[in-house]
Amino acid sequence: MAIRTKRNKRLKITKRNKRYKTKFTRVRARKNRTKRAGVGKMHKSHTGRPTPYTRPQRMRTQANPLDKAVQDVQWLIDLGGTDTVRDTIMDMFAPAANMVTLPSINVAVKEGSCLPDTLIFAKAGSEAGHFIYRDTQEKIWDSYSLKHQRVNTHSFCQTFGLMYLISQPQNWAIWKEKMGESSASKPWVDRLKENNFTHNIIVVTQFWQALLNYPELQNLLISELKDLNNYYIEMSETDFSPTKLMPVTYDSANIDAAFVNDLLGKIRKNARDISGISANPEAGELIRD
């Protein structure tokens, strides 16, 4: 699910931001109370003599697991949500499939709302939405109803949609031909487990790792991530909120295949926390079993 928080509205969002449908996972964490002193002022001590205040400094607090989970995963949610990446993957592995945006999830699931074999972005507000897939038999594949993604969490609905799409027999044959048997042991949808959300996040990273290691896609994914990281760097210079999204590196030239594989490894390591990032920006906490 994709969502835009009230906090983001105060940022000067540029037109460039609109290319990332799922960029806004910023979750408002609990505010840490810190002691602050004034700056450049004088006060009287108990002796009556004027004494300068000390310069304020933010107290160090224990890292919020919510913040870390969001930082670890946001880049991949954004990368998978770009039109260029999604359209290129569909052109390569599902050339006959369609992509459509519909006004709501209720419209999306109605019979005849769109053509079969279609990836659907169902809107849930001006900037929010959810990806589902309608197969050639008119069956709806929804990561929430299939219990592959925890309900009311904010993560990889667009990736699950692509996995459902590519796992269809007509598209899986193309995947096997291009990728080889090593990454085509069984369709992606068959690797997902009902109600095992941590496991499914790990499968998501395996899906993206396979795409990253495919020579015809590698340069595109790295180039898109560099552009996305430059955007994060730009935003970090104007966003001073405690929950701001940090760049994956402050030098985008460092981003290569090995670097991205390391980032995917971090997601696997923290899959349990990532599987519980709430879609409610006011929650400020992880949803756990």
Tens of pLDDT along 189-244? 999 999 999 999 999 999 999 999 999 999 999 999 999 999 999 988 887 776 67
Report how far residue 201's alpha carbon sits from residue 6's, in angstroms, rounded to the nearest whole number: 27
Amino acid at 107: V
Say if CB 123 and CB 129 are below 8 A apart.
yes
Supply the pLDDT for residue 263. Answer: 95
Name residues of the chain where pLDDT drops below 70. Answer: 1-68, 125-127, 154, 242-243, 277-289
Distances (CA, A) of 199 to 185, 193, 258, 263: 17, 7, 23, 17
